[in-house]
Structure 1
Amino acid sequence: MTTQHIIKTALVIACSVGFTACSLNEDLGSNLNQQQADSLIKASQLLGSAYDNLQNAYQDFSQTWGMCEISTDEALGPTRGGDWDDNGVWRALHQHQWTPDHSHIQNTFSALLLEQFSATNVLNFRPTPRQEAEARFLRAFSMFAVIDLYGQVPFRSPGENLLEAPKVYKAAEGLDFIISELNAILPNLPDRVTAKDAYVANQDAARFLLMKIYLNKGAFLNRKAPTFDAADMQKVIALADQITASGYSLQPKYFDTFARDNDAKSTENIFTQLNGPGVSNNRNGNNVYCRWMCTLHYSQNPSGWNGFTTLSDFYDSFEATDTRRGGDYPGVTNVSGLKVGFLLGQQYDQNGNKILDRSNRPLIFTREVELRATGTQVEMSGIRVVKYPPDMGSSGSNATNDFVFFRYADAVLMKAEALLRTGNAAAALVIVNDLRLKRGATPFTSLDLTKMLAERGRELYWEGWRRMDLIRFGKYLDAWQLKTASDPKYLLFPIPTSDLAVNKNLVQNPGY
């Protein structure tokens, strides 16, 4: 049996028992004892697997991203004739009508717990202090996502008996554990300069995740009526200043942060996942290329899947001069005619010729979109979104755009929000206007929470943060385009039925 097969076998065994972490041992019926496994399996290999498993959980559009964006006012997955129905899973997400048997809710729960298992398993095989710190960071990251989405998270310490159900942390104790972990490992993580590559867990990534926790803690503990402790807000501000001291700056050209060479161009990226041939195409799940494929039409280049759109109300929140709305991008527009950002109206190729749909009609993306598109709207309805400029030299998961988890603009906006929530609107306004000027938008004369939420939407659209933001600002249950006001139970996703069956310590969330 090869080392890779041993590693994969361990992963399969862990998944088959619902969750979670294990070491290879005789109790699982392995032919290897722990000493033999130690000689064959290295912590570095397992750590690589933990990094790899981020792809399916976060880059694939049908997992965490779909739950955090399609369920908001920023994104829609319309059924187009016979395409994109998928038993109504996308409509259910947008309209807040999901159930515990929703396939994407179940798959995301499994993918995030697999990531936690992969990271925990590193700790069984004598990692170096830095390897241990990176693994514990990845574990904390996945645990944070599970608490965000489901309000509770299963947990095993390294070496626990897999035959017993793992304990489950509720939100409060889970967040306390993550905070203690991040503070404990921070000295053993590389600083951003030493790490060089943003796809390595680093001190600023840990600080950023701590910012997210402190800013959202009151919302995680009371989703119906979030609170914001002044001490927590001060921690957000202090952590943002520490990140700033590492030398980041707002990217002058907005879409460079997401480009095929964003590893070299970006001045913002704090934590990413490396993509490219021989890397992302060997992992499970789609890599970042699915972000443009899920929205582009078949007749465009790249030829897409004609799926997701944004909504006109969200599009209208941008000024015409705001560079985040998009436009031409070198290496893309001159090659295929495709623009980046929001695509509305007639689409053209690189020679200025009108692109046609599959029925030889001019391909004109419309503001109007329905949950169920029919007729000509099957091909053309909805404003399309291209956040990552496509890598025109690669296909499929060979795309080299590194996937962005954490970036500096989000950190400064979190600082501004913390200042605003502690009564320092003047200082928050300076930060937000600095960002708006960088993006070609008109400076605000004043700042309140409504403007703060809207600005986060404009800056961070389709990056997977919108659901969290809407809950924190008390807007997630509101009515918006193609969605009526929703029941408070939808502030949490349900625990999948299959997971309740295998872990007696899980408790179904209220209302499901």
Structure 2
Amino acid sequence: MLNNFKKALFLFCCVSIVISCTSEIDDLRPINQETSATVFDDPASYKAFLAKIYAGIAVSGQQGPAGNPDLAGLDEGFSNYLRLYWKLQQLTTDEALIGWNDGTIKDLHYQNWTAGNEFIRTMYDRIIYQVSLANEFIRQTTDEKLNSRGVDASLKAEIQIYRAEARFMRALSYSHALDFFRNVPFVTDEDIVGAFLPKQTNGTDLFAYLEAELTAIESVLPGPGQNQYARADKAAVWMLLAKLYLNAEVYTGTPRYADARIQAEKVINSNQYSLDGDYRHLFLADNHLSNEIIFPIAFDGLRTQAYGGMTFLVHAPVGGSMPLSEFGVSSGWAGVRTTKNFVEKFPGMENSPDGRELFYTNGQSLEIPNISKFTDGYAIAKYKNVDRNGNPGSDTSGNFPDTDFPLFRLADAYLIYAEAHLRGGGGDANTAVGLINTLRVRAYGDTSGNISTSDLSLDFILDERARELYWECHRRTDLIRFGKFSSSGIWSWKGNVQNGTTTEAFRDIFPIPTSDLSANPNLTQNPGY
């Protein structure tokens, strides 16, 4: 099933996909265009278009690894959705920093970005582009449209599931918009395609929309683990809802912790997922074998060749004396490391009994006097393009990995339950501690790292989330929820100071890009910018 889906996922490489919604945001300049009528004359195009929506968060265009981009502007490698999402979630925190001089990339870790930052702008564009793709698919799959094309009943039933998946993917991207920008231009499939300037929404309204959308599609999607690998099912909906509810107080001012716990419980009690016996297996070239991953972003070294996504996450952290063969790559990009402040989350630091500590320290210094020098700062050996037996991925060049990105996994559901309980969301303290200790038994190999009820606190949860989920696109959101991202919380080179300093509280939200403000007078800049 995995191989069949990875083939289907990238059918779009052979089909020129419709993008007729360019007026939804003036910045977007899709390269490949046809009319909707032409594409949807072919019944196979429905699945191909759905594949394009999924692929939009993995690759950057319609020709791998580059050369036919979805969006004009920033380099295709830089403008990849996952690569940008990771940078905004990780480089802005204590978990990662990068030494390259690519434009304004260092400003992310320094937390001194402006509304003209090209990485923030392109993340914004990617989100809107994904929403636009999903909107068009949903417009073209109404009963009226399908009937007019003479689509038979069996295909119509299948397309209704595709339609729910497209709505999930739209909600996923809008959830990123909510988390990063809050007040974004808002367009759905109900808006007529044409020359118009979208109105601006706000955090409260966008949250309510996402909650309603996800609740509506839950009953349509297959049960947990019952869809093809890397396609949305009910458990993916529950995880996205759990994460929205966990952050609801940040987004809307109204806490929803009981709802976060309930959604996490649905995932846990589905009994369709189990913790992988070896933490390291979750980040290898055959991590599709793990029963812990609920919803991944799928990659394949032969069919998803791109310079963003997992290619970036496997290559960019490799440099110095790190042996290339252990990572299944032909070269390291010597860019991304971590800070002393994150290393200190692990007892014993580089010699921690916690098996989640995957630091590479040979030739690397703990301190970072020079952010541009790769050997200043410990490297992290988490993502690799080798399988659990040490065999390299399918691309013999060693450039493009098979490793999938674990966007949602069971361990996060455990941590959400425990945090929601501590924040007054109900549930049971013994259950919360039991879930945490299940993670720690895996990490320590025995019960030596187990905690008691008296040890369970919000500070512990924040640190445990860092130890369990680092470099998986959670840290910025977590620090903001705990009030430790900008005006509180200090780590190396935050504020462009070697030992770190606080920054302005308005940086908890990114700016609306200057380019879109200029193009759309309906938009107002976020405070502070």
Instruction: Please state which band the TM-score falls in when normalised by the shorter chain.
Output: 0.7 to 0.9
How do residues 323-338 of structure 1 correspond to structure 2 at under 5 angstroms? 323-325=355-357
Which of 132, 140, 150 in structure 2 is aligned with 1:125? 140
Which of 183, 203, 207 in structure 2 is aligned with 1:171? 203
Partner of 1:482 in structure 2? Answer: 493
**CA contact under 8 A between 1:140 and 1:178: conserved in structure 2?**
yes
Partner of 1:304 in structure 2? Answer: 332
Q: How many angstroms does 1:133 deviate by?
A: 0.2
In the aligned structure 2, how far is the partner of 1:388 from the partner of 1:419?
31
Identity, % of aligned positions: 30
Q: Which deviations, in whole Å up to 9, do the C-alpha atoms of 1:97-132 show, x marking residues without a partner?
A: 000011100111111111111111111222721011
Partner of 1:93 in structure 2? Answer: 108
Which of 267, 270, 277 in structure 2 is aligned with 1:252? 277
- Which AA in structure 1 matches 2:282? T
How do residues 104-123 of structure 1 correspond to structure 2 at under 5 angstroms? 104-123=119-138
In the aligned structure 1, how far is the partner of 2:399 from the partner of 2:304?
6
Q: How many angstroms does 1:267 deviate by?
A: 1.9
Q: Which deviations, in whole Å up to 9, do the C-alpha atoms of 1:57-81 show, x marking residues without a partner?
A: 8976641110110101111113xxx
**CA contact under 8 A between 2:57 and 2:81: conserved in structure 1?**
no
Partner of 2:312 in structure 1? Answer: 290
Which of 468, 471, 492 in structure 2 is aligned with 1:462? 471
Q: How many angstroms does 1:286 deviate by?
A: 1.8
In the aligned structure 1, how far is the partner of 2:12 from the partner of 2:80?
26
Q: How many angstroms does 1:85 deviate by?
A: 1.3
In the aligned structure 2, how far is the partner of 1:221 from the partner of 1:256?
37
In the aligned structure 2, how far is the partner of 1:213 from the partner of 1:119?
20
Q: Residues 3 and 490 from structure 1, CA distance in 2 versus in 1: closer, same or farther, beyond 3 angstroms?
A: closer
Q: Residues 120 and 161 from structure 1, CA distance in 2 versus in 1: closer, same or farther, beyond 3 angstroms?
A: closer
In the aligned structure 2, how far is the partner of 1:367 from the partner of 1:403?
27
**CA contact under 8 A between 2:367 and 2:377: conserved in structure 1?**
yes
**CA contact under 8 A between 1:204 and 1:270: conserved in structure 2?**
yes
Which of 401, 407, 410 in structure 1 is aligned with 2:409? 407
The answer on 1:506 being equivalent to 2:523 is yes
In the aligned structure 2, how far is the partner of 1:61 from the partner of 1:43?
24
**CA contact under 8 A between 1:47 and 1:135: conserved in structure 2?**
yes
In the aligned structure 2, how far is the partner of 1:72 from the partner of 1:485?
12
Partner of 1:496 in structure 2? Answer: 513
**CA contact under 8 A between 1:68 and 1:464: conserved in structure 2?**
yes
Q: How many angstroms does 1:211 deviate by?
A: 0.2
Q: Residues 4 and 91 from structure 1, CA distance in 2 versus in 1: closer, same or farther, beyond 3 angstroms?
A: closer
The answer on 1:453 being equivalent to 2:462 is yes
Partner of 2:85 in structure 1? Answer: 64
Partner of 1:338 in structure 2? Answer: none
Q: Residues 463 and 403 from structure 1, CA distance in 2 versus in 1: closer, same or farther, beyond 3 angstroms?
A: same
TM-score (norm 2): 0.79
In the aligned structure 1, how far is the partner of 2:380 from the partner of 2:37?
52
In the aligned structure 2, how far is the partner of 1:396 from the partner of 1:106?
31
Which of 140, 143, 152 in structure 1 is aligned with 2:174? 143
Q: How many angstroms does 1:277 deviate by?
A: 3.8
Which of 4, 18, 28 in structure 1 is aligned with 2:27? 18
In the aligned structure 2, how far is the partner of 1:20 from the partner of 1:132?
25
The answer on 1:315 being equivalent to 2:367 is no
Q: Which deviations, in whole Å up to 9, do the C-alpha atoms of 1:124-179 show, x marking residues without a partner?
A: 22272101100000000000001100112322222513301122221111010011
- Which AA in structure 2 matches 1:55? A
**CA contact under 8 A between 1:371 and 1:482: conserved in structure 2?**
no
Partner of 1:54 in structure 2? Answer: 57
In the aligned structure 1, how far is the partner of 2:25 from the partner of 2:200?
18
- Which AA in structure 1 matches 2:464? E
- Which AA in structure 2 matches 1:106? R
In the aligned structure 1, how far is the partner of 2:382 from the partner of 2:316?
12
**CA contact under 8 A between 1:292 and 1:385: conserved in structure 2?**
no
Q: How many angstroms does 1:193 deviate by?
A: 3.3
> Please, what is the CA RMSD of the aligned residues?
2.7
Q: Residues 439 and 304 from structure 1, CA distance in 2 versus in 1: closer, same or farther, beyond 3 angstroms?
A: same
Q: Which deviations, in whole Å up to 9, do the C-alpha atoms of 1:176-233 show, x marking residues without a partner?
A: 0011001101111111332141x011110000000011110101235xxxx63xxx22
Partner of 1:190 in structure 2? Answer: 222
TM-score (norm 1): 0.81
**CA contact under 8 A between 1:96 and 1:490: conserved in structure 2?**
yes
**CA contact under 8 A between 1:453 and 1:469: conserved in structure 2?**
yes
The answer on 1:366 being equivalent to 2:394 is no
Q: How many angstroms does 1:412 deviate by?
A: 0.9
Which of 435, 439, 463 in structure 2 is aligned with 1:435? 439
- Which AA in structure 2 matches 1:119? A
**CA contact under 8 A between 2:418 and 2:436: conserved in structure 1?**
yes
- Which AA in structure 2 matches 1:293? H
In the aligned structure 2, how far is the partner of 1:218 from the partner of 1:416?
17
Which of 382, 403, 415 in structure 2 is aligned with 1:387? 382
How do residues 349-364 of structure 1 correspond to structure 2 at under 5 angstroms? 364=363
Q: Residues 249 and 38 from structure 1, CA distance in 2 versus in 1: closer, same or farther, beyond 3 angstroms?
A: closer
In the aligned structure 1, how far is the partner of 2:181 from the partner of 2:259?
25
Q: Which deviations, in whole Å up to 9, do the C-alpha atoms of 1:225-273 show, x marking residues without a partner?
A: xx63xxx222222212211233212211001112111112x12100012
What SS class does the counterpart of residue 40 from structure 2 fall into?
helix
**CA contact under 8 A between 1:46 and 1:121: conserved in structure 2?**
no
In the aligned structure 2, how far is the partner of 1:390 from the partner of 1:183?
37
**CA contact under 8 A between 2:57 and 2:82: conserved in structure 1?**
no
**CA contact under 8 A between 1:14 and 1:117: conserved in structure 2?**
no
In the aligned structure 2, how far is the partner of 1:218 from the partner of 1:396?
44
Which of 159, 162, 183 in structure 2 is aligned with 1:152? 183
Partner of 2:481 in structure 1? Answer: 472
Q: Which deviations, in whole Å up to 9, do the C-alpha atoms of 1:305-341 show, x marking residues without a partner?
A: 111111122112113111101xxxxxxxxxxxxxxx2
In the aligned structure 1, how far is the partner of 2:264 from the partner of 2:333?
39
Structure 1 unmatched runs, 5+: 25-29, 79-83, 326-340, 346-363
Q: Residues 20 and 415 from structure 1, CA distance in 2 versus in 1: closer, same or farther, beyond 3 angstroms?
A: farther
Q: Residues 461 and 482 from structure 1, CA distance in 2 versus in 1: closer, same or farther, beyond 3 angstroms?
A: same
Structure 2 unmatched runs, 5+: 1-10, 61-78, 143-158, 387-391, 495-500
Q: Residues 312 and 432 from structure 1, CA distance in 2 versus in 1: closer, same or farther, beyond 3 angstroms?
A: same
Q: Which deviations, in whole Å up to 9, do the C-alpha atoms of 1:348-375 show, x marking residues without a partner?
A: xxxxxxxxxxxxxxxx1111213544xx
- Which AA in structure 2 matches 1:204? A
